[in-house]
Amino acid sequence: MGTYTDFFAILATGALLYTINRRRKPSLPLPPGPKGLPLVGNLFQIPSELQWIKYHEWSTELDTDIIHLQAAGTHIIVLDKYEAAVDLLETRSSLYSGRPRMVMMMELMGWDYNFALTDYGDFWRKHRRLAHQSMQATAIKQYRPHLAQATRNLLKRLLDDRNDGNLIAHLRQLAAETILSVAYGIQIQQENDPYVELAEGANQGAIIAVVPGAFLVDTIPILKYVPAWFPGASFKRKAREWYKMTMAMVDVPYADAKRRITNLQKIGAGEKDDAFTEDVLRNTLGALYSAGSDTSISAIGTCILGLLEHPEVLKKAQMQIDSVVKPGHLPDIDDEPSLPYITAIVKETLRWREVTPIGVPHALSTDDEYKGYRLPAGAIIIANEWAMLHDKDVYADPFEFKPDRFIDPETGKIDYSRARDPGHACFGFGRRICPGRFMAFESLWLSIASIISTFDIEKVKEKVTLPSGEEVEKTVELTHEYEAGLAKVIDKSYYTINNIQRYAILPMYGILSKLQLIFTSVQVHIEISTVQSQTYRVREMQYIEVAQTTLCSDTFNKKT
């Protein structure tokens, strides 16, 4: 009899504890947030643009580093501080590595091929593994000749200036040339290349659609079934056009490269189940193509804007380059440890005007608790990277372009104890961190170092009002701001370039082939003659010779 009594006592105790536990969890409050309306919550309070500004304002008003919004039943958690993002997105990455449902982008615009936007699972793991293997720190050494040639071509275009000083056109060409060469082995035309327009068209829609709340269909998914002719369904017509561009961006360069390579049914070592299928290869390369096509345009343009406003930074950087790099040579990525001020400029560029102010949202897979708040399963998690990179407690004068914040004044070396490395925020968090971050940094560093070593960047003689740092920070459009505010305010010079000689052809296949690449040498001879009309002003350099390089597999040796 006692056995039955003990059994029922244990059962009753377990039931009581279960009931208490269930009641206790919902009793925790949600994080603070602005008061919403019945049913729709904060749906109409979330702006369709510059959301990161409003999110930060709410966090400041409520004195919290984490806020809660509710949009027609969808929970949104915004992390305003770096520490909160690390605590949740990295320390608890197993719970926060999902992606929310993005109806506009994934289901209507065709971006479901892109593993960076898909939910956590087998599809993501297969594609991420290929991206990681191709873009990890040790692997990108084999792409350095591609980066070098694209950068040299940029300098040539800037010197020729055949596009009437359109800086954005030159940068767009650089971005496309770099990623197409690395990913597909495609060498594009130096002017009016269709691949440049292809990526630009597809990414324009993505930049708009990836922001939570930009389209009502993401909040009310049933709207995806509304016919395109229905009043108010303009999003369907936009999606139809953007879908065509997206598919072309994924399929066209891959098909072009594939025509030059046979036997692509299985690529990769290992067992059959571990090999990368052609679909995985095509999708992954498409994701790299889309990611690399726009971000470098914004970053380099941001840097030039900062140098325009702070000529003393430009002069200091040029002096350091002149003290390290041999006369007649351009900086090489191997010079990076000896050029800490260039690195500081690149880091400040990434911080000053973050390319993705709020990044791609995460999704919470199960209920969680943080700092006494309840975080419900299925919630959209937004890291406000813009706020993190402009935290005045971490970065003094956060809206000012100050590379010296990362330099130890006594040693002249990089010192992140004075100001946190912005790379910890601008490339994402946890398992969703950008796999191409190492190549992105090297490409950006090489481009900026080469421009600084070659050009004096000045304002036009006429008075021009540059946008303030804060105004620049609040702008997410990557090209329009620069065409209006930057390309027209650079003092320019017209020059002629002669005697361009290439003694070897750059390897043609990039990631798409697993062939050994041998890059024998590239020499560029530049003769400069100034004409009367000033546009860009080149520094006093009469001869630039690109160091001979040799590349075989993963070995990279520089020969002088």
Query: Residues annotated in the binding site, as ranges?
Result: 434
Question: What is d(CA 141, CA 555) in angstroms, rounded to the nearest whole number?
Answer: 8
Question: What is d(CA 307, CA 340) in angstroms, rounded to the nearest whole number?
Answer: 17
Q: Which residues are annotated as a binding site for heme?
A: 434
> For residue 556, what are the β-bridge partners?
551
> For residue 393, what are the β-bridge partners?
none
Question: What is d(CA 444, CA 232) in angstroms, rounded to the nearest whole number?
Answer: 42
Question: What is d(CA 163, CA 169) in angstroms, rounded to the nearest whole number?
Answer: 8
User: What is the torsion angle, in degrees rounded to the nearest 10, for the CA atoms of residue 206, residue 209, residue 210 and residue 214?
Assistant: 160
Question: What is d(CA 63, CA 374) in angstroms, rounded to the nearest whole number?
Answer: 18
Q: Which position has the token pair 């990414």?
A: 203
Q: Region of 558 please: left (phi>0), alpha (psi -120 to 50) or beta.
A: beta
**Crossing angle of the two packed helices 278-309 and 194-209, in degrees rounded to 10:** 80
User: Residue 302 corresponds to which tokens in the numbers above?
Assistant: 């941001």
How many whole angstroms from its chain centre is CA 210?
13
* Helix, strand, or coil (residue 269): coil
Question: What is d(CA 121, CA 119) in angstroms, rounded to the nearest whole number?
Answer: 6
